[in-house]
Each structure stands twice: as structure tokens, then as C-alpha cells.
Amino acid sequence: MTDKDNIDTVGLSRRTLLAGLGAVGVASAGAGLGTTAYFNDTESFEENTLTAGQLDLLVDWQQTYDFGEGRKFISAHPDHDEDGEQSIIDPETQEVIKYSDFPDEDDEDSNGANLPVLTCDNIPPLSEAYFNVDPVTGEEMESLVQITDVKPGDSGEITFSLHLCDNPGYIWMQADNISDDGGAATEPELLVDPGNLGDLGDAIQATLWYDEDCDNVYDGAEPVDIMLTLDFSGSMLYDQYGGVVSDDDITVGGNTYDETTKIDLVELGTRQFVDYLQSQGSDVRVGVAYFDGEGSGESLPRTGVYQPLTSDLSAVDTSLTNLRQKLANVVTGSGFTASNKPTAPFDGDGDPDPFSNANGIATGTYIGEGVDDAQAELDSNGRTDVEKRNIVLSDGESFNGDGTTAFSSPTDAADDARAASPGPETDVFTINVNGSAGTLQAMAGPAGGPGGDPAFFNDVDDPLNIPTVFGNLAAQTVQEKVIMEDTLAAVLAELADGDGIPLDGNRATLYDELNDPADDPDRDAFRGDGVMHCVALEWELPLEVGNEVQGDTLAFDLGFYTEQARHNDGAGPSAA
């Protein structure tokens, strides 16, 4: 019996629902005790309910095959018209949305991307998958990979999109039932392989990696200038305005606090972001802008750039330390000049205690001005002909507060940033933390393109997921992370060993999938809100392979396994 005989797996021919506890209903009523018939009381607690949480892993994919005529679509899910290209029909507009609608204009090898509009609500079950036909032989394929006439020089690739719904969980990629058979023994093969051994798995070269942009193409690193544009309003810190996330303590940059606030999670996430870029030797410049509102009687919003663009990522990391104090200085107006610009380095005596009286702090959230300030910094200090990005995080609505300043429209500011008016064309990524989702989604989009692009928008229902979002954005900035590069036989053996290869829900944490334990602190669970993560497997039978592989057959199962994060450490069922 293998390690995986007793665990549930989302395989490529079925979908398994993993659920905890059954539903339990409990009802009770309290009884009153009075001194007379006129003095009595009854306290009732009725219709009490416990409902089990859910853990549902949905998988979609796009597969391509190159048999000498360039990459061809051969299998996808969902694929509404069964032509091999991933596609769905939008239920509202009845328009067809397909893989080739989302190419990377800066990558000549990209011809599209797995659909960013796929969610936990619209991905069909794997039982409805259509595997299409072998493009060479025309034979119907009954499984995901069923290519029957592979020749030296042929190659193929599959990008899987993983969507973990409802609750956070750990995910493993797995293989099973591997067999490498010599198959039919032809005379040319027997001359070089008298034993007619199964050599195909050892002959095929394979790469397994995190395909961050889900475009079926491995992407190396490109130089980029990045502005982090952060919400420094009171609701990011003070309990009075919803800034306290939980009573759990948190350690950030050597400081341990008795409670966790939104700005603590921003500090943790942005510093992981910067540290990861530095660890990868990335060719980046990073700066930091902020935005708040305006104080009573003031005529200017409190926004600006407090860390200019720099390639010194240690300096950026330092500027992102102790954000509680920096935010407190901003919202209380301490450490500012008459023009509402901060005195370096945010000197002031604002009270960073989340439970202090925060009455009278600056009002409003000037998202548009923050974007404008970041764009001006990219324009004046950014490098020529280098990709530009502005990552905007906010938990609030953009409005004028109690002041008199006419505020900039955040959507107009983002439109200008994407369209290079003024300054360079800029990718605008947005992170909504229970704020104005409609506004932030409308702002998000690629340089030169429209807003409202779901691939550039991150909707965070639980602020505890803020660091993971920054981790995913960091992974999209550097070269995509290769999990394993070896023969296909070696990759499959690793996937079949124990619980398989443990995947990391936050690539900005320095986790080694092959050598670190599955319960390593640097391995993060995947968020349970359906955010798309892509894992790709590419294979090629080299041209120099000879007759020894004629007629050989390599068969294997692929799948993904998930288990809930709560009450688990990620060690997996084999460690139980």
C-alpha cells in the first residue's frame, strides 16, 4: 500500500470534496426565576447551529504540444467549444472569453494565459473535462496526456491553475502509478537496446515551476522600477476605526506587539517583498509613497513620497520599519511642514498605541493623490525603457473627508498612470483590504491597457492574507521559481515520493520544495479565497535521442492533494 492510498486527492479525472466536521444543530432555552408572577424573566438561545467549513480545491489547465509546427492547443479545462483552447462563455454578456485574450505583450513567446476570470463559482468540475484528440494521430484522448506518436524534437507543456476555496490549506503535487515500458521491440531499437528497456522517462527532459503569470512560458527576470503606494490612514492602525485585526501578538522587524493591526501586516508583507527581491539579485529600484487625508483646518491632503526610488534595497527595508510610528505621525499631523509634506524621517510624537484615543486624526483617504505622487517619482527618478509598476494598497474609500480640498479621482489617476499621462506607462496593481473594492478594481490594469483587469487586482477579505499577496507580487517580479529541472522520470519519482512535492503558498518566503521539510516555517499555506496560483510542467524529447526509445511508453497519474491549514502544521498525512 502506498502513502497515498489512504488520502483524498484531486486527480485529473475527478474532483473530490474535502470537508471537516458534519453539521450539528443544538438548541437550548434558559429558564427564568421570579419572586412573583409579576416579576419574571426568560432568556432564550434558540436555533443554534454549527456548520462545517469547506476545503475545495479546483483545478483548471491549458496544455500545448509542439510536434514541429509550433505550439498547438491540445487540451484545456474549461473549454466550452472543445477546441483545445481554454475558454468560457460569460453568463452576463454571453461573450466568449478565451486563453488567447490574455497574451503578455512584452513576451514574444506568450500567446495567452490561463483565464484570470475563473473563480470558485464558475470553474466546472473535472468530471466535465474534455481531453480532446491527439493532434498527430487524431485519436481521442481519454486522459490529460495521451500522445501516441512522440518524436525526438517534440515538446509539450501544461500549466495548472489551482484555486483553493473557502479555507486556507496546504497543497502537494503528486504522481502515482508510474510505469516506463519498452513497448514494441523494433529491429532498430534492439540493435542499441537489446533488453528493450523502458527508456522514455530518462530520455525526456522536464521542468516543473511556478508559472506566476499563468502563460505556459517560463519567464526570466527583467529590470523594473516599483513604487509601493500605501494607505497610512487611521483605519490601518487604530482599533477605534477597525485597525486591529486580532488579539494575537505579532513580531515585525524585531518588535513584538500584543495585538495585530493592518499596518503590521503591511510592514511584514512589504519587507518580505523587498527582502525576496534582494535575495534574488533582482534588477529593481523600489520607492515608497503614502496617502492619508487632511487634518482639521488644513488645506492639503497628507500624501507624498518618503522613500525615493533606489536600488539600495536595504535602505528601502529600513524605511519600511516601524510603520506603526510612521503612520501615527502622519495621521496626527506631527512631523509635517506647513505644506503638509513630512520632515525626514517622519519625526514626530504621534501615539502608535492602537487603543489610544484617535479622535481628531486626519479624515479622508486620498488614494488618487498617492497614485499621482508615486507616478511623479517614477517619472522623475525612474530609468528609461524599464518596466514600471505601482502597487497600491488601501482599506478605505476615496473621499474628501471633512476638509475643503478638491481631491483627485483615483480611477483618473490610475488611468493616467497606465496611459503615461504624465510620466511613463505603468502597470497598476491594487490590493483592496475590505475597502472600496469597485474603485480599486477599476484602477487595476497593465501599462497601456484598460482598468478593471482581474489579473492586476487583489481582493483581500482577511487582512492576515496581506503578506501572501505581497509574496505573490514579489514572485511575479523576479524570474519564475523553478521547483525541479531533471529528466521526466526523476521529476515523476519526486512527485510520487511520500506525499509528493509540497507547494508554497507564498513564494517570497525562501522555501526549498525538494530539501526543506513540509512543515518548515517558510512554507506558507494557500489562501482559501480562490486566488489563482499556477504550476507548470514542461517536457521535451531531445533531438539527439536515438532508436533506444522507439515504441517505449511512459504512463503516470498526476494529481494535487490539499489539507486544511487550521490545526495542521503542513507536515502532511505521511507524518501523522
Which domains can be identified in the chain, with CATH numbers?
A: 56-219+480-564 (no CATH), 224-476 (3.40.50.410)
Question: What's the whole-number average pLDDT of the chain?
Answer: 82
Q: For 522-534, what is the mean pLDDT?
A: 90
Q: Give the end-to-end CA distance of the chain in Å, rounded to a whole number.
A: 16
Of the candidates 37, 159, 67, 77, the one whose C-alpha atom is nearest the C-alpha of residue 110 is 159
Question: Over 53-96, what HEC string results?
Answer: CEEEEEEEEEEEEECCCCCEEEEEECECCCCCCCEEECCCCCCE
> Can you tell me whether residue 316 is helix, strand or coil?
helix
Peptide bond into 542 cis (omega under 30): no
Of the candidates 81, 85, 83, the one whose C-alpha atom is nearest the C-alpha of residue 98 is 85
Q: What pLDDT, on the 0 to 100 scale, is given for residue 544?
A: 84
Residue 134 CA to residue 143 CA, distance in Å, equals 11
- Buried residues in 493-525 as b, exposed as e (16+ CB within 10 A): ebbbebbbbbbbbbbbbebebeeeebebeebbb
Q: In a 10 Å sphere around its CB, with 0-12 CB exposed, 13-18 middle and 19+ buried, how is residue 444 labelled?
A: buried
Residue 400 has pLDDT above 50, yes or no: no
302 contacts: CB under 8 Å, gap ≥ 6: 232, 291, 292, 293, 294, 295, 330, 331, 333, 336, 340, 362, 366
Q: If pLDDT is split at 50, 70 and 90, which confidence band does 399 have?
A: low
Cross-strand pairs, 529: 165
Residue 30 has pLDDT above 50, yes or no: no
Q: What pLDDT, on the 0 to 100 scale, is given for residue 19?
A: 23
CA distances from 77 to 81, 155, 476, 561 (A): 11, 20, 24, 19
Q: For 110-121, what is the mean pLDDT?
A: 90
- pLDDT per residue as tens digits for the range 63-83: 999 988 888 999 999 999 999
Q: What pLDDT, on the 0 to 100 scale, is given for residue 31?
A: 40
Residue 231 CA to residue 331 CA, distance in Å, equals 11
Residue 470 CA to residue 158 CA, distance in Å, equals 26
For residue 155, give the C-alpha cell: 515538446
For residue 415, give the H/E element and its range. Answer: helix 410-419
- pLDDT per residue as tens digits for the range 236-295: 999 988 899 999 999 998 889 999 999 999 999 999 999 999 988 889 999 999 998 766
Is residue 87 within 8 Å of 81, Cβ to Cβ?
yes
Is residue 278 within 8 Å of 284, Cβ to Cβ?
no
Phi-psi region for residue 343, left (φ > 0), alpha (ψ -120 to 50) or beta?
beta
For residue 568, give the C-alpha cell: 495542521
Distance of CA 413 to the CA centre of its chain: 25
259 vs 420, which has greater pLDDT?
A: 259
Q: What pLDDT, on the 0 to 100 scale, is given for residue 463?
A: 93
Q: What pLDDT, on the 0 to 100 scale, is given for residue 548?
A: 66
Q: If pLDDT is split at 50, 70 and 90, which confidence band does 574 have?
A: confident
Lowest mean pLDDT among 267-271, 371-375, 405-409: 405-409
- pLDDT per residue as tens digits for the range 447-482: 999 999 988 999 998 899 999 999 989 988 888 999
The structure's pTM equals: 0.76
Residue 559 CA to residue 145 CA, distance in Å, equals 13
Q: To the nearest 10°, the Cα dihedral for 227, 269, 107, 134?
A: -160
Q: For 178-206, what is the mean pLDDT?
A: 64
Residue 575 has pLDDT above 90, yes or no: no
The percent of residues in the chain predicted with pLDDT above 90, rounded, is 48
Q: If pLDDT is split at 50, 70 and 90, which confidence band does 38 have?
A: low
For residue 33, give the C-alpha cell: 426565576
Please report where in the chains the cell 539527439 appears, as a residue: 544
Of the candidates 30, 88, 32, 78, the one whose C-alpha atom is nearest the C-alpha of residue 58 is 78
